[in-house]
Structure 1
């Protein structure tokens, strides 16, 4: 939980810090995109190392790199170094931290199967959302009430501490398999994985747009400190829906429920735009809209994770579980960069149009992935065997 909380609080801490020290949301958007692209590139490579050498060894080594990169970024931001110096420091800070959430899910897959595994996925989704709930609030309080660099500093301390504690948990660690890369093909060669990746990338754009637009909108209302609370409403809604969804066993295999869940999320992501247009000065209205988006989030993530776990051999599961996360992250990077430019040039709440446009595209991608997956059933175990 500590490592996840640190990683989740970094993005908003960076947005708030640089908007105060540099005053450019375009810079914030492109820097965020650079860091997230570094994460997308480095996380799968780290996951392959984890499959081959074990979670403990790789995580401990990554903790040292993360500590140094956080320190470099803080130094550049504090002394207002030239903007270009921020990019390599932040990219390394983002890319050096492994996907702890995916590694925990890998441990659950190693220890359990059947309905227990699906319940474990729901529990992990709730744990993620609790971090998403508290992370923005923590970041906002530290940056606005302590000092601008406090959010990034706390993020780094939490991340490195959590990584080291996780690396020490050897009892539940799945065994390393040095030959995994040679014996099993890449997860990206499985159509079932692509059936999840395509809609996940577009869902990431939705959330990247919501992050930047909400910070910009609250800043224009002279309520910058409310941004973290408003964004945390997404996590609160997702945590509640995750708890409820984890208790329900679907009657059909997961592909159709997955596309239905993406359709529901696409509809709900129109609510923030409606709230900003109808009640532009109402923070409670924006918060309620974010909560509505969160309600639609957990089913998409839980079902997508279940599909991947069902369709990829255990020896490559660390890497396989990184790719959906990387798809969301890559989409988030695109959403950050695109929306940062939009709100700087077209108005404070204009970024809320991005989810309205991208939502239907996510639904089309989910449907296309469903058709692709349906033609290649042979790479998955039966749905009832994995409890999805």
Structure 2
């Protein structure tokens, strides 16, 4: 369980950084548009950096990648805090965020790759269980992360959320890097057909493209929920609402792991995307915390099973030498639409309030559903 616990600690910042940046920057600048633009740049940068680092992990080893990227990321975030606190030009804030996210890693892809290394291919049911377990950990992270971030940012100091994320990364990353038993090692590049770009794999496209578009809904929800709570004079409650969102995912992960499904992975993947879209339509019409919490919980129940079902379709069609890259690419595009929606949401909220921002999740999810249509045959197991 060491790799699971280490991965849990190292992944904590993924649920903390966005809301930590928003709270910290808004405490200084007072504009959601700037905070949204910064998180947008951060998200956009990871679209490029995460797949490249994942490819490097396949070819040079996870340990070397972790020990190279983590110091860069930590140094850049510390510089960002100092620049913002001391009133440096706003362009320098964007530069340091870019540098920090250029060293962003998909720790979840690395730990999932390690499960694949440790579990025999014949035990496919155990591999599926490990994916569900990792998704459960992700949801627990998204329950705890926002709550902790808003708590320390409001009770201690606005930059405390970013600093706490740095601490988690510095503890978890070395624990993963030096766990030899789970290390999948280095995989030589293959020649011929298998050497082709992994993104040409249609099953990967069928999972990655809809998830990429759906990513716009996640970022829009993050910033819109903060604004929703702020408008009602309870900004600290934003972390609780986002935690409830993730709690739905954690409950769903447990349920999905316990059931022996007769429905195919592909059919479940499609069903959950449609469910997310249907629930998102209610967001702009909600005016109180309790109803929004219920809606977020229900949508969270649809989000958690997406990746485990998607990965079960992908991993059987990708060579070993591209596996970490393929796993990371399944979700690496999410920040692309996240960057766009963060910027749009910030503008909408500043001009028209939180309700306007809450229309964006539904918009992106409708597009996500549409993107599955060309790949309907690929969802067959």
Structures share fold, TM-score greater than 0.5: yes
Deviations 1:219-243 (A, max 9, x none): 1111111111111111100010011
2:188 maps to which of 172, 178, 194: 178
Deviations 1:6-63 (A, max 9, x none): 2321111000011111111111111111111111111111111100111111111112
Does structure 1 residue 23 correspond to structure 2 residue 30? yes
Alignment-derived partner of residue 158 in structure 1: 168
Alignment-derived partner of residue 3 in structure 2: none
Q: CA offset at residue 68 of structure 1?
A: 1.0
1:330 maps to which of 332, 336, 342: 336
Moved more, 39-48 or 297-306: 297-306
Alignment-derived partner of residue 178 in structure 2: 168
- Equivalent residues in 2 for 1:230-249, closer than 5 Å: 230-249=241-260
Contact kept in structure 2, 1:256 and 1:370, CA below 8 Å: no
Contact kept in structure 2, 1:40 and 1:95, CA below 8 Å: no
Q: CA offset at residue 303 of structure 1?
A: 1.1
Q: CA offset at residue 328 of structure 1?
A: 1.7
Alignment-derived partner of residue 130 in structure 1: 140
Contact kept in structure 2, 1:6 and 1:157, CA below 8 Å: no
Contact kept in structure 1, 2:268 and 2:309, CA below 8 Å: yes
1:305 maps to which of 307, 311, 318: 311
Contact kept in structure 1, 2:252 and 2:301, CA below 8 Å: yes
Alignment-derived partner of residue 94 in structure 2: 87
Distance in 1 separating the partners of 2:94 and 2:20 = 15
Distance in 1 separating the partners of 2:268 and 2:289 = 33
Matched residue SS, 1:148 = coil
Moved more, 118-127 or 156-165: 156-165
Q: CA offset at residue 290 of structure 1?
A: 1.2
Distance in 2 separating the partners of 1:7 and 1:347 = 26
Matched residue SS, 1:176 = coil
2:200 maps to which of 189, 209, 217: 189
1:206 maps to which of 185, 200, 217: 217
Q: Alpha carbon RMSD of aligned pairs, Å?
A: 1.6
Distance in 2 separating the partners of 1:255 and 1:348 = 34
Alignment-derived partner of residue 106 in structure 1: 113
Distance in 1 separating the partners of 2:102 and 2:248 = 28
Contact kept in structure 2, 1:204 and 1:331, CA below 8 Å: yes
Alignment-derived partner of residue 5 in structure 2: none
Deviations 1:259-291 (A, max 9, x none): 12211111122232232xxxx2x2222212211
Does structure 1 residue 366 correspond to structure 2 residue 377? no
Matched residue SS, 2:81 = helix
Matched residue SS, 2:181 = coil
Gaps of 5+ in 1: 378-382, 384-388
Does structure 1 residue 274 correspond to structure 2 residue 268? no
Contact kept in structure 2, 1:262 and 1:366, CA below 8 Å: no
Q: CA offset at residue 172 of structure 1?
A: 0.6
Gaps of 5+ in 2: 1-7
Contact kept in structure 2, 1:136 and 1:232, CA below 8 Å: yes
Q: CA offset at residue 329 of structure 1?
A: 2.2
Distance in 1 separating the partners of 2:222 and 2:329 = 22
Cα distance change of structure 1 residues 177 and 219 upon mapping to structure 2, 3 Å threshold: same
Alignment-derived partner of residue 4 in structure 2: none
Distance in 2 separating the partners of 1:215 and 1:257 = 31
Residues matched between the structures, number: 370
Cα distance change of structure 1 residues 184 and 111 upon mapping to structure 2, 3 Å threshold: farther
Distance in 2 separating the partners of 1:181 and 1:295 = 41
1:143 maps to which of 153, 165, 172: 153
Deviations 1:202-260 (A, max 9, x none): 21111111111111111111111111111111110001001101122332442222212
